[in-house]
Structure formats: structure tokens, C-alpha cells
Amino acid sequence: MTALLGVARSALGRRWTGPDDAVWRAAAALVQATGQPEPVARVLARLGVPAHEVPGFLAPTLRQALPDPARLQDAEAAADRLLQAVRNAERIAIFADYDVDGAASSALLIDWLRGHGRTATLYVPDRIDEGYGPNPPAMRRLAADHDLIVLVDCGTLGHDAIAAADGADVLVLDHHLAGETLPAALAVVNPNRADEDGTLGHLCAASVVFLVLVAANRQARAAGLATPDLLAMLDLVALATVADVAPLIGVNRALVRQGLAVMARRERPGLTALADVARLDTAPAAWHLGFLLGPRINAGGRIGQADLGARLLATADPAEAAALAERLDALNTERREIEAGVLAQAMDQAQARGFDAPLVWAAGAGWHPGVVGIVAARLKEAANRPAMVIGLDGAEGKGSGRSVAGVDLGGAVQRLVAEDLLIKGGGHRMAAGLTVAADRLEPAMARLTELLARQGAGQGGPRDLAIDAVLMPAAATLDLIAALDAAGPFGAGAAAPRFAFPDLRVVFARRAGESHLRLTLRGDDGGRLDAIAFRAFEGPLGPLLEAHAGARFHFAGRLEADHWGGRAKPKLRIEDAAPA
């Protein structure tokens, strides 16, 4: 494929590519059939939306997209058991994972139970002391004082822990990859069970919980009971879907679209307080969920108190929400500092091993287990390879990995557990966690590398930068940005539109903070465009543009509306550049 604008190697070492011929033809047909602006038609064509589906795609509804919960094994049984617990005023415990998906899943259940006048005990395991998922001691303690334990975003592989919950019924509402056998729970609702057809495998745990609650509301209405408003809880589902990097396709897209609208109403005290401390002063978009709100909710589980995020999302008290949001914001700042230290060491180690291997990995003594997943994501982005980062503590190491499209990391990790190379591990296609004995680290990583290589990992170089269209600054209008937003939300599985702006001169450049760069760009026609390059000084992009000396560059990035100062105007979020 010919390099777009002749950019075969950009400032970040990437080749720029435009749409292929099929997308060009489909986009031209969409312009004629739907009247959409050509840049929007290019995006719709790239996403594979035919002309007759464009109206529904631009205005997705849950009524059309939401699957019948009965499609999931055990969903009706789980819903029935929840209603039984509500009717009989049973003692209920919620055991949740410590990430955003777990926090949102538990808050969904707490909200729903509150709507029935019931409460529940929230239990979130400590990442360091207890690790991921249910453990026998915790389950025994909960079973001694509760009639029903609901495991959310965990539990599918918790055979021993669930067996330890003697005297209590256990429900598992999860989405992680299942093994050949399921634990002895009353119900295991998981779209990634071996006996599911896989069509809903892209759901996060909060979406699974939501579907079970849909089934419970349906059963309650049939029995003449009042039901809580589930649509008002879609802000939690949207947050979890984006933060867990679930692909924004099918029902996920409708859930996030509707959830963002609910979030914009600022009715949930926890999310309102968190948006305020994050200085989010516009209607939220998917980007804000993944990069502003999600990291702050995760900070409690990473380096602080594990249940802070879930408590924030579940509270109905604005004062408590404000205090929790401030605490999480402070922890997030501390997390960034810890992350920076680990990232520098991990990057040096991974580069010494080579970024061209099927697996990029690093391990170090004392690396905080709460940041290894974030560092793995950064390594993955830098190398375009699956990455695993492990923090060693004495005789054991706890690691977290991130994968690339087309490579099933979670399945490979489970294979290593079956082969006794890992103490434990699991996850899903794009992310996985593991615990490994320090003396088995090298053979485990060698075997993981081998398994990932069989899937094609490591065959490509730096990723091409795919660009939807070439625009001039005058074309970057608020109307175009609004039309593009209608084709969203964008995220995993549905990349946000990216545009190239050719042959522009930098007329202003100034650092913002330690690593960002603000710019103003101008074309020969006099059109100007404000821009920002985040984390530009963590690589070669910042120094290149800061020392521009009036040179011309091609720029690539994403358009957004900047509401700074109370007046909206277009802004380019720069992702790459190349000398013109």
C-alpha cells in the first residue's frame, strides 16, 4: 500500500496509510445514498456500515440492540435467586474484583438492591495480600454471615474458593475465560463459558450483571412487584465497558451511547464528584471514561484501599462521594509517580531483550503489582506486541499482560497454568494476569512466547497509522466534529476517526506541564487550527515540533471540540507528525 502523503516513516517511525479501494468506493456510495459528509462516510465505510443501516447506526437504541438475557446460560436462575433473596430479606454479600469493571458491577447490584429496600455487604479483595478473585478464607468468612454471595467480574475459575463457601449459595456473574469445568456455584453467568456460542463474548462483567438484572426485573413485573429503573444505571455499564477495553460493537455500542447520556445528567453522586476533581467540564465522551475517570477509580485497587472505587460508585451521599473522589484523585497522582519509575526500568529491560520478539516482557523486584498492568499496556503500544510485566516479591511474582488484536493472551496464560508453569492465571483475549514462582519465570515466559508466536504475534513491525481522510484546517469545523461524534462512541474495536492535515506551518508551540505540547498550526490559505500533543516529550515528537523553526509538517490526529474558556472551537489532538 502506498504511503499516504509520502510518509513512509514518521517522527514516531510509522507509515501512514489511507483507506483501501473498497472503503473509498463504499464511502462514495454512502455520500450519495445518505447525504453524510465525506469524512463521516469514510468512517462509516471503514466500520462496515451499509447505507440502509446508517440511520439506526447513528441513533442506536437498546430496544433493538439488547439481547434477551435468557440467551445466557444460568441467567434466569441467577435472577430468580436474587429475587428470592430480596423477598426473604436474606443476608447478601457482593464479592467484586478491584478494577473499574468490578466496581461498576458491584455498584449496579447495590443500586438495584437499594431500589428494593435491601442492602448488601461489599467485599473487595486486596490486590497484594489476596490477589485476584475469590479465595477460600474470605469465602468462608462471608458464608458464615450471609445466605447469598454474588461474585462479580471474577469467580469463573474459583473452584476451591466457591467450595469453601459452605452454607451459602453462590452466584458467579463474570466474563473471563472459563475452563473446561465450572465451579460448583448455583449459577455461573458468563458469555465466555465453553457451552456459550460466543456471540456475546465481548460483554464486560457489568453488562452481564445488567442483563441478569433485566431478567430479574422481568420476573418481578410478572409477579406484580415494583422494579428499580435500570436505564438510570447505564452510566455504570458504559464506564465499565470503556474502562475494561471491551470492543464498542453491537450491544456494547448502544450501552455506552445511552450510558454517556445518563452520565451527562450528573445524577450519580460518585461520578459527579469524580468528574469535578478530574476537571471534566463538558459532556463526557468515551475518551473521558477511559483516560480521566477510569484511572482514578482504579487507583484505589492499585495502590490504596481496594474498595474505594466501588464505594464511590455506589454511594448516594454527595458528601461521602466528594471525600472518596478526593482520595482517589490523590492516589491516582501517587500511582502515576510509581508507574513512571517502573516504566523506565521495564522499558530498558524490554528493549535489551528486543522489541521484535513475539512477547515483550520485563520483571523486577519490588515493582508495585498495582501498576504492572499499566506498564504492560505502555510496552504493548511501544512495540506493537503482546506485553507482560511482572513484579517480583521474594519467591513469587505477580504479573499483568496486555495483548494486540488477533492474539489471545488469556487463553495462552490458562494453558501455562494447565502445564504447571504458573501458580495461577487467567483473563481474556486482550488482558491477563498471572502468579509465577520466581524460579519458573524464565521457562514460563519462554513457553508463553512460543504459544503467542503460534498465533502470529511478532510478525509485524511498528503499526501503520491508519488515516480516514486528508483535511485542511478550514474543514475542521464544529459541525463536522458533531457529525463524527454521531458515528461514535469510539474505542476498542471501533477506532476513532483520524485525519491528516498536510503541509502546515507551526506558528506557536509551548509546553504544557512536563510532557505535553500546545501548538497553533496554519495552512497556506490562512486557515488556523489549535492542537495539542499529549506526552509528546516522552518520545521524539515533542522535541521535533518544539524546535520547529518555522518548518512545515504533515500532522495526523483526532478532532475534538475544545470548550476552554466557555467558547467551543475545533482542536486537533496530535498523534504523529512528519516533515512536509
pLDDT at 1: 65
Please give the model's pTM, rounded to 2 decimal places.
0.89
CATH number of the domain at 354-454, please? 3.10.310.30
Find the helix or strand (DSSP H, E) in which 171 lies.
strand 169-173
Closest CA to 424 of 435, 409, 413, 410: 435
Fold match, 4-18+467-579 / 65-329: no
The pLDDT value given to residue 462:
67
- Cα-Cα-Cα-Cα torsion 499, 504, 510, 511, nearest 10 degrees, comes to 40
Name the fold adopted by 4-18+467-579.
Answer: OB fold (Dihydrolipoamide Acetyltransferase, E2P) (2.40.50)
Helix (H, G, I), strand (E, B) or coil at 263: helix
Q: With contact defined as beta carbons under 8 Å apart, do 296 and 348 qualify?
A: no
Of 578, 193, 230, 180, nearest to 417 (Cα)?
Answer: 180
Low-confidence ranges of the chain (pLDDT < 70): 1, 460-462
Torsion 377-381-382-384 (CA) sign: positive
Could you state, in order of their start, the residue ranges of all structural domains in the chain?
A: 4-18+467-579, 19-54, 65-329, 354-454
pLDDT attached to residue 513: 86
Nearest to 268 by CA among 204, 312, 237, 229: 312
CB proximity list for 352: less than 8 A, separation 6 or greater: none
pLDDT value at residue 461: 63
Dihedral sign for Cα 201, 202, 205, 206, please: negative
The span from the CA of 375 to the CA of 389, in Å, is 7
For every residue of 103-154, DSSP letters joined together read HHHHHHHHHHHHHTT---EEE---TTTT-SS--HHHHHHHHHH-SEEEEES-
Per-residue model confidence (pLDDT) at position 563: 83
CA-based nearest residue to 578, from 18, 3, 12: 12
**Rounded to an integer, what distance in angstroms lies between the CA atom of residue 552 and that of residue 542?**
15
d(CA 558, CA 576): 10
What's the pLDDT at 67?
96
Cell of 322: 466528594
Topology annotation, domain 65-329: inorganic pyrophosphatase (n-terminal core) (3.90.1640)
User: Which backbone phi and psi does 436 adopt, to 5 degrees?
Assistant: -135, 140
What digits encode the pLDDT tens for the residues 257-301?
A: 999 999 999 999 999 999 999 999 888 999 999 999 999 999 999
